[in-house]
Amino acid sequence: MYSGLLIILVPLIAGYLIPLRARPLLHAVNRLLGGMVYIILFLMGISLAFMDNLSTNLRLIFQYAGVMFLCILLLNLLALALLERRLPWASHHRQEALPSRLRMALESLTLCGVVLLGFLLGLSGWPWLTYATQGSEYALILLLALVGTQLRNSGMTLRQIVLNRRGTLVAALVAVSSLVGGVAAAWLLGLPLNTGLAMASGYGWYSLSGIVMTDAFGPVIGSAAFFNDLARELCAIMLIPTLVRRSRSSALGLCGATSMDFTLPVLQRSGGLDMVPPAIVHGFLLSLIAPVLMAFFSH
């Protein structure tokens, strides 16, 4: 267990210790981080092609992902609805014209295309492709170091995080209710408890959860974790504009770790500028605990 935690924490902390002041360097880190996501997913697709009993395992992947997604979504929405009822988050913001949700959804689905491309290449059976799993591990280490650097230079201080009560509360509820959903899904699917908890710890961070779960539990669970977290992002894009009118906490919590990057523009335009600080804190906290929890439950 401790070796797995070290593999996650050491590059994350090392990256966090790197201060970057120059904007061009920060921009380069962000671009490299985006590129690493595609590389990791491509390698994951190659590994998927080398599975035994491929057709049976593909059915299992989508079964696991579907049940996990529904359990986590329902538990998240229930917990956040209770928070909204107890501590209403009022706002008089009028929604701005939103970017095309279909276009954003297609951008997310491009990630599935990258996995599919790697999968099709893997079906060729070329011997050198068997190194894809080892390559994905090195890619993961670099990804985590870049994420640590990005978190360090996100502009968030510990004081800002602690003082933003709404962002912290929503993140805590999402974290706990997702784990409860993971336990429920593991019970329904007949999976070990730690597997369900590990899959539930991705919080929408599909590039990380896919490769960590693949390393720990094999390509079936890894691919299911990827599709579960990708479905969360797609669901958030579609539902935020409607949810934000009824439950701002639910709209934020549905985004998971993506609330500080990909879904932030939708949150801002749908809910106003006052949603931005809680969204960044919420995404920051979930991005910080996701790799730790995944490593902890995977060993």
Quote the pLDDT of residue 63: 95
User: Above 80 in pLDDT, residue 239?
Assistant: yes
Domain count for the chain, please give it. Answer: 1
User: Above 80 in pLDDT, residue 205?
Assistant: yes
Q: Are 280 and 156 in contact (CB under 8 A)?
A: yes
Q: Are 275 and 252 in contact (CB under 8 A)?
A: yes
Q: Are 192 and 186 in contact (CB under 8 A)?
A: yes
Q: Are 76 and 176 in contact (CB under 8 A)?
A: no
How does pLDDT run across 150-176, given as a tens digit for each residue? 777 766 665 666 677 889 999 999 999
- Estimate to the nearest angstrom the gap between the alpha carbon of 83 and the chain centroid: 22
100 band by pLDDT with thresholds 50, 70 and 90: low
How far, in Å, are 60, 79, 218 from residue 298 at the CA level? 19, 25, 11
24 band by pLDDT with thresholds 50, 70 and 90: confident
How does pLDDT run across 186-197, given as a tens digit for each residue? 999 999 999 999
Q: Is the pTM of this model over 0.85?
A: no
Domain range for 165 is 2-91+98-297
User: Above 60 in pLDDT, residue 257?
Assistant: yes
How does pLDDT run across 106-165, given as a tens digit for each residue? 666 677 788 889 888 888 878 888 788 778 778 878 877 887 787 777 666 656 666 778
Tell me the range of 17-21, 81-85, 273-277 where mean pLDDT is highest: 81-85
